[in-house]
Structure 1
Amino acid sequence: MTRELRRWHRWSTVAILAFSVGSSLVGLLRPGHYRAPPDIALSYQIQDLTVLLVGVPVLAVGLWSAARGSPRGRLVWLGGMAFMTYIWASAAIQIPYNELFLVYVALFGLSLFTFVGGMWSTDPERIRRRLEGRVDPALYAGALFVVGLGLAALWLSDILPALLQGTTPTIVEESGPQALTSHVVDLGVVVPSILLAAVWLYRRRTWGYVLAGVVLILGATLAAPIGLMTLVLLTGETVTVSPVAAFFTFLPIVVSALLAVAYVRSMSGSGGIPGDGEGAQST
């Protein structure tokens, strides 16, 4: 395994950064780009803004640092790539059709394959060595378990009552079937990943240290768009968001953000993210 990123990882990440900036600017600056009710359109623009202010900087810093061989930078890069995969999958499925539909699909596919390739080529032992003895696996595993169950409970609270009563979930009646995109992605991918990371980390498996860092950074980068979009929906009239649902929306992202910062800081060596004392060399 190489300490530095492979060449195609670098070029695909640069392409993701460029197209993410371009599509987000179009969403923010082009009048009427989002063909949706005002509250929903505003939430899409908030997502564009947070991609520019959070997602792009995190991925760019992670790319620069990981390219220099930093294990901490590689974890940040993987977390940023997971964020891009999540965001553009949601955009491609959820946003009403517009001229950038194929761009959303391309960004999702490129992000997904780059993320998978990055995980496949990661040396988990290097990351474990940086974290072992510096983090409490039981503490982080317990927090991840709570976050995963809380997220599952949040989305199931929309679905299970409707299933038991034989009705349509309120969110679908208010916003249409595309409103369940987050339910699909979170319940199908994110929640299982969080719970798997918790179990592996608790058992001190090597890949548990990597996966835990990735899902924590994903949660931290999603904190801004999810939090702001929830506030927009709370103050709008299009979608009903109960106080309980809002609480269980904010709790996981706040916890993930705090834990992610602590987790990444625990990997600090003789320097900051850019080198970690190892970035100048490769094997």
Structure 2
Amino acid sequence: MTVKGKGSKQFESVDLLVVCCIVLLIIVTLAGICSFSTERGYYVTNQYGDNIKIFGNGIYKYDSFFKAPIFIGSDAVMLILVVPLLTTSLIQNLKKGTITTKLKLTALMGTVLYYATSIAFGVTYNSFHLFYIALFGCSLFAFICLVRGMDEKKLRDVHTSILPTKGVSIFLVCSGIALFVAWLPDIISSLLNHRSLELIEVYTTEITYVLDMGIISPLMLLCLYLLKRKNGLGDIILIVMLRLCSVIGIMLPVQTIFQLLAGIELPVPVLISKMGIFVILACFAVYFERFYYKGIHAEDYEFTQEGRRNEVDLNIQESNK
């Protein structure tokens, strides 16, 4: 499928996948937000012998009373923040097709993939499971296509700064370590006490620990390594990680607000160690993301799906130097 207007790039298969993600996000997040109610909770004994309160309402009716508000908070941020940003980025990329628009679209799809993975593997089975699978599949393949569509070798040529800067290096290392500092103590404590995680409740594993410690943290260090090797893939990973960190920094306080509205008491040390760290990292992520985009010159260079720049614009830029 190709649709091309004057001054716009053609509408490709990956764009259709992004549109599907937007539609699925609206459906899934609206259903999640509409599930918020604290009046139908009830208690059960979980597989570990603990007495656990179940949420009992909406699509999260089989999830725990502690986790459901977290899911709803994530839904709210995805609907109010990420969906508009993703829609805007898609439109801008269709109109301009520049390095910046493609990077922004790729970064947002990375965030959608993280969210889709979390709900597809982390939410208790419910009537929206097929929507979760569809969102996970569409976001995964869209993200892969967008990354593959970037010309990694030429990304370094269009940035005025020599990466990684000292600040970016410190951020990547600190972010990678912070994920372990936030989650590893819970796992160590459960192993030492010969029991499951304290807040495992009705679940068999904690998907956030798997994603953050198993994928995101190593990606931070891999990103730093690639940047030092002047590999353009490092640029792509960097911008994806920065956008993900900034969204997570907004998402955690919103999740906390929904938990407080549900009457859940959260100890101050938990708020500082779990939420405070990520909010601070998010602030730095926003700064470095702005720094990266400001460093891109030749804004009107186009990256095609095969990763080739518009040679006519390149020649014009070179002649003006």
What's the TM-score bracket when you normalise by the shorter of the two chains? 0.7 to 0.9
- Tell me which residue corresponds to 1:46: 73
Q: What code does the residue aligned with 1:14 have?
A: V
Kept in 1, the 8 Å contact 2:173–2:220? The answer is yes
Task: Decide which of 225, 229, 232 is 1:199's aligned counterpart.
Answer: 225
- Tell me which residue corresponds to 2:291: 262
Kept in 1, the 8 Å contact 2:89–2:104? The answer is yes
Identity of aligned residues (%): 21
Q: Distance in 2 between matches of 1:90 and 1:5?
A: 32
- Tell me which residue corresponds to 2:25: 20
Q: Distance in 1 between matches of 2:303 and 2:206?
A: 45
Residues 157-176 of structure 1 aligned to structure 2 (within 5 Å): 157-172=185-200, 175-176=201-202
Residue 4 of structure 1: how far off its partner (Å): 5.6
1:109 aligns with 2:137: yes
- Tell me which residue corresponds to 2:165: 137
Alpha-carbon deviations, 1:17-37, whole Å to 9, x = none? 111112212222356322134
- Tell me which residue corresponds to 1:177: 203
Q: What code does the residue aligned with 1:265 have?
A: K
Residue 120 of structure 1: how far off its partner (Å): 1.4
Q: Aligned pair in 2 of structure 1 residues 178, 238: CA closer, same or farther (>3 Å)?
A: farther
Q: 2:206 is paired with a residue of what secondary structure?
A: helix
1:84 aligns with 2:85: no
Task: Decide which of 268, 277, 281 is 1:252's aligned counterpart.
Answer: 281
Q: Aligned pair in 2 of structure 1 residues 280, 204: CA closer, same or farther (>3 Å)?
A: closer
Q: Distance in 2 between matches of 1:143 and 1:5?
A: 37
Kept in 2, the 8 Å contact 1:80–1:221? The answer is no
Structure with greater proportional helix content: 1
Q: What code does the residue aligned with 2:99 have?
A: P
Alpha-carbon deviations, 1:247-269, whole Å to 9, x = none? 334333333233223323333x4
**Structure 1 alignment gaps of length 5 or more:** 271-275
Kept in 2, the 8 Å contact 1:16–1:110? The answer is yes
Task: Decide which of 86, 91, 109 is 1:64's aligned counterpart.
Answer: 91
Q: Aligned pair in 2 of structure 1 residues 76, 51: CA closer, same or farther (>3 Å)?
A: same
Aligned residue pairs, count: 273
Q: Aligned pair in 2 of structure 1 residues 248, 177: CA closer, same or farther (>3 Å)?
A: farther
Q: Distance in 2 between matches of 1:8 and 1:38?
A: 40
Residue 83 of structure 1: how far off its partner (Å): 0.7
Q: 1:168 is paired with a residue of what secondary structure?
A: coil
RMSD: 2.8
Q: 1:277 is paired with a residue of what secondary structure?
A: coil
Q: 1:171 is paired with a residue of what secondary structure?
A: coil
Q: Aligned pair in 2 of structure 1 residues 257, 179: CA closer, same or farther (>3 Å)?
A: farther
Q: What code does the residue aligned with 1:153 have?
A: V
**Structure 2 alignment gaps of length 5 or more:** 1-7, 37-56, 311-321
Alpha-carbon deviations, 1:10-62, whole Å to 9, x = none? 11101111111122122223563221345533222221111112211222232
Q: Which has the larger radius of gyration?
A: 2
Q: What code does the residue aligned with 1:176 have?
A: V
Residue 125 of structure 1: how far off its partner (Å): 3.6
Q: What code does the residue aligned with 2:292 have?
A: Y
Residue 85 of structure 1: how far off its partner (Å): 0.6
Alpha-carbon deviations, 1:133-190, whole Å to 9, x = none? 2765332122111111111221112112222332322122xx3335611001111211
Kept in 1, the 8 Å contact 2:156–2:230? The answer is no
Kept in 2, the 8 Å contact 1:220–1:256? The answer is yes
258-267 vs 130-139, which moves further: 130-139
Alpha-carbon deviations, 1:38-95, whole Å to 9, x = none? 5533222221111112211222232223332210111111111111111011111222
Q: Distance in 2 between matches of 1:258 and 1:230?
A: 24
Q: Aligned pair in 2 of structure 1 residues 280, 43: CA closer, same or farther (>3 Å)?
A: closer
Higher relative contact order by CA 8 Å / sep ≥ 6: 1 or 2? 1
Q: 1:170 is paired with a residue of what secondary structure?
A: coil
Structure 1-normalised TM-score?
0.84
